[in-house]
């Protein structure tokens, strides 16, 4: 049984540790293998750090950040600290069902497995929050696709990306790929972009329907301005993904599609956050080009020429003769 390093990013999550951490700690302690738990506090304003030191100081490695910088940077600090064979990313608002990990180990018997995730359902219901995704292309926009699983539960189910809330990944591969792209801070889309890089290097991402965890859906209301800011970040990061993984005429057609369907139409319908997101994207083109060029060099070292459209085709081929059940 492979050893696991659990990486838990935290921001103002004391109440979540109080509700869920003890349960997850019990699940981890029953694995019968080496478990390293790393909590990275993203400059919380609550008493998270004091609470963790008092109650779990002997069970965890605690990394305290002085400046809040978002999900990708926070996770990357934990990834660098991880020493075990597998890395498990775990959100503070998630609880694991019994037997979660035992259902995932088989995937790492394959040399090309990058990672695997289980099914995410609601904390108080069985509604699907995350499952496998089969991507599709609309024009040159990359869409994640609907949730699904395979009728044959023994089949290995590919998924376009691994949710950063519950992903179990090969440590060597995750470190080789340099973790998350920190340009995606503070949040949104970083797990999808990471998974795309893994696919393009020739590795695979899987989904296990029988491994279940529960996720608390925030009931807190946000102000109109806050919701608008979140939408702006969401669209900016979507633009990042496309720029990083499209090339040539595909990239040109995508730009035209975005200008017409997002920016212009957004202005006409008073959805100004789309135009603002596109401007944010343009401001960061220099940094994005550096990231893209760096990954292109890594692709050459791995002798891979797989593009994002090849990844989508590969996933579709893997599903071609399977009975797909949409959720």
In the chain, where are the structural domains located?
1-92, 224-301
CA distance 254 to 260: 10
Give yes or no for a contact between 130 and 327, defined as CB atoms under 8 angstroms apart: no
> What are the pLDDT digits (tens) for 235-293?
999 999 999 999 999 999 999 999 999 999 999 999 999 999 999 999 999 999 999 99
Position 220 scores a pLDDT of: 41
Please state whether the peptide bond connecting residue 296 to the residue before it is cis, i.e. omega within 30 degrees of 0: no
Average of per-residue pLDDT across 81-90: 98
> What are the pLDDT digits (tens) for 125-139?
999 999 999 999 999
Position 256 scores a pLDDT of: 98
Residue 222 has pLDDT above 60, yes or no: no
pLDDT category at 224 given cuts 50, 70, 90 is: low
> What are the pLDDT digits (tens) for 145-204?
999 999 998 899 999 999 999 999 999 999 999 999 999 999 999 999 999 999 999 999
Average of per-residue pLDDT across 306-316: 97
Computed over every residue of the chain, the mean pLDDT equals: 95
CA distance 21 to 278: 39
Q: Which fold has domain 1-92?
A: Spore Coat Polysaccharide Biosynthesis Protein SpsA; Chain A (3.90.550)
């Amino acid at each position: 049984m492979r050893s696991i390093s659990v990486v838990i990013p935290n921001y103002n999550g004391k109440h979540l540790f109080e509700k869920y951490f003890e349960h997850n700690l019990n699940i981890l302690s029953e694995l019968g293998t080496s478990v390293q738990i790393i909590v990275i506090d993203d400059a919380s304003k609550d008493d998270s750090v004091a609470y963790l030191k008092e109650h779990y100081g002997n069970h965890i490695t605690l990394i305290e950040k002085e400046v809040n910088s978002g999900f990708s940077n926070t996770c990357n600090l934990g990834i660098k600290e991880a020493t075990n064979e597998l890395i498990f990313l775990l959100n503070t608002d998630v609880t694991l069902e019994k037997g979660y990990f035992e259902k995932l180990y088989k995937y790492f018997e394959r040399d090309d497995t990058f990672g695997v995730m289980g099914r995410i359902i609601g904390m108080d219901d069985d509604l699907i929050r995350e499952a496998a995704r089969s991507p599709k292309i609309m024009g040159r926009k990359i869409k994640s696709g609907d949730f699904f699983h395979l009728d044959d539960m023994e089949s290995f189910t590919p998924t376009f990306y691994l949710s950063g809330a519950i992903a179990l990944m090969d440590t060597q591969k995750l470190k080789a790929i340099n973790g998350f792209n920190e340009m995606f801070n503070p949040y949104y889309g970083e797990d999808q972009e990471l998974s795309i890089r893994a696919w393009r290097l020739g590795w695979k991402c899987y989904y296990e329907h029988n491994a279940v965890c529960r996720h608390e859906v925030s009931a807190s209301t946000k102000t109109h301005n806050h919701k608008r800011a979140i939408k702006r970040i969401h669209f900016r990061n979507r633009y990042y993904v496309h720029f990083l993984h499209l090339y040539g005429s595909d990239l040109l057609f995508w730009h035209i599609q975005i200008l017409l369907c997002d920016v212009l139409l957004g202005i006409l319908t008073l959805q100004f956050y789309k135009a603002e997101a596109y401007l944010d994207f343009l401001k960061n083109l220099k940094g994005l080009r550096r990231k893209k060029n760096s990954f292109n060099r890594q692709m050459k070292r791995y002798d891979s020429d797989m593009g994002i459209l090849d990844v989508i085709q590969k996933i579709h081929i893997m599903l071609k003769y399977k009975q797909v059940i949409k959720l």
